[in-house]
Amino acid sequence: MLKYILRRTANYIILLFIAVSGTFFLATACLNPYSLYVGRQPPIDPQVLENMMARCNLSRQVSILEKYWTWLTNVLFHWNWGCSPAGAFVNDEISRRMWISLRLVLIGTILGIVIGVALGVWAAVRQYKVGDRIYTVLAMVSLSMPTVVIAVVIMVTATKINNWTGSAFGVRLFQFIGISGNAGNYPGAVFVNYLNHLLLPTIVLTIIEATYLSRMQRNLMLDALGADFVRTARAKGLTRQVAVRRHALRTALIPIGTQVAFSIPLMFTGAVITESVFNWQGIGKYMVDTITKMDVNGVVAVTAFAGVLVCIGAILSDIIVSALDPRVRLS
C-alpha cells in the first residue's frame, strides 16, 4: 500500500504543480493590482506605487516569465508565497485563516456525514412510509434553498430568540457574528464564548452536508436493498436487519466514502457564503477577497492550498474504497 500511495502522491504533485503554475500565469494576466490605486486622493506618487508593486513581484515593468521565476524560487527555497498589494504577507494570512476554517468546517462536516448517512439509511429501509415522505419533503426544501437563505433564516430566528430572552430574562442566548465576542468572568467563559459563536454556522454547514449526503445514501441504499446478493442473504436465513447491516449498507457506503473523502477538503474553500454571512475570516472568505482585491499571490496560494487538500482527498478516497470493497486491492 505504501508504494501505491507514494506513486499516487507523485502523480498528484506533478498535476498540482501544473495547476498552480497555470493559475499564476492566469492571475497575473487577468488581475490588475494597479487599478486599486486609481483615483486615490491624494494620488500616490508613480514611483512609490511602482516600488510597492515591485516588492510584491507585481510590477508591470517585469515580464511575466521573470515574475514566475521569482515566485517559483521564493516558494521552493524560502516557502515565501509573496504579499498582497496592500503589503499583507500571504503566508501569515493562510496560516491564520486555515485554523479558523478548520474549527468551523471540521465539526460541521463530521456532523453532516454522520447525520446524513444515518438519515439516508433510515429513510431507505422505510421507503414510502410516513417518515420517509416527511423526510423527503424536508430534504427537497433544504436542497432547493441557497446556502445564504438558510444562513439568514437561522440568523433571523436566533435574533428573535435573543430579543425574547433579552426582554424576559435579560440574557442573549446566541452570539454569531465573528469567531469570538465579549466573554463573561465565570470559569470557562472564553470556551463557552467560542462555542456560542461556532453554533449557528456549524448548524448551517451540517444542514447542507447532511441533506446532500442523505439523499445520495438513500438512493444507493435502495439500489443495494434490491440487489440479488441481499435477497440471497435473506433466503439463506439472515434476518432483514442483519442483511441490511452486513451486506446492503457496506455496499451502499462505497460511493459515499469517495464523496466524503473529497467533501472534507473542499469544504475548507467551499464555505465561502457561511463564512461571509457570519463574518468568519477563514479560507473561503479569503479566497473571495484575494480576487476582489487583485491579490495575485493570494489567489495562487489559495489555489495551491485547495489543490493539496483535493490530492489528500483523492488518496483518502482510494484507501476508503479499498477498505469497504474487498474486490479492490491496492497493489
Q: What is the pLDDT of residues 163-218, one digit of tens each?
A: 888 777 777 778 777 777 666 666 777 777 888 888 888 898 899 889 988 998 89
Chain Cα centroid distance, residue 326: 30
Residue 287 scores a pLDDT above 90: no
Q: State the DSSP H helix or E strand holding residue 260, giving kind and residue range, or none if neither.
A: helix 249-270
Residue 330 scores a pLDDT above 60: no
265: confidence class by pLDDT, cuts 50, 70, 90: low
232: confidence class by pLDDT, cuts 50, 70, 90: confident
Exposure of 187 in the CB half-sphere (CA atoms within 13 A) = 0
- Contact residues for 117 (Cβ-Cβ < 8 A; gap 6+): 213, 214, 217, 253, 256
Phi first, then psi, for residue 128 (nearest 5°) are 70, 5
92-129: per-residue pLDDT in tens?
Answer: 999 988 888 888 888 888 888 899 999 998 998 888 88
Average pLDDT over all residues of the chain: 84
Residue 264 scores a pLDDT above 70: no
**What is the 8-class DSSP label of residue 36?**
G
325: confidence class by pLDDT, cuts 50, 70, 90: low
CATH architecture of 95-324: Orthogonal Bundle (1.10)
277: confidence class by pLDDT, cuts 50, 70, 90: confident
- What would the mean pLDDT of 124-153 be, rounded to a whole number? 88
223: confidence class by pLDDT, cuts 50, 70, 90: confident
Lowest mean pLDDT across 4-13, 148-157, 293-302: 4-13
Instruction: Give 89's strand partners.
Output: 83
Q: Which amino acid would we find at residue 95?
A: S
Question: What percentage of residues in the chain have a pLDDT greater than 90?
Answer: 23
Question: For residues 208 and 199, what is the distance between their CA atoms, to the nearest angstrom?
Answer: 15
Grid cell, residue 324, equals: 469497504
Question: For residues 263 and 13, what is the distance between their CA atoms, to the nearest angstrom?
Answer: 20
Residue 318 scores a pLDDT above 80: no
DSSP string for 73-84: HHHHHH----B-
Lowest mean pLDDT across 139-148, 245-254, 262-271: 262-271
Instruction: Give 98's strand partners.
Output: none
22-37: per-residue pLDDT in tens?
Answer: 999 999 999 999 888 8
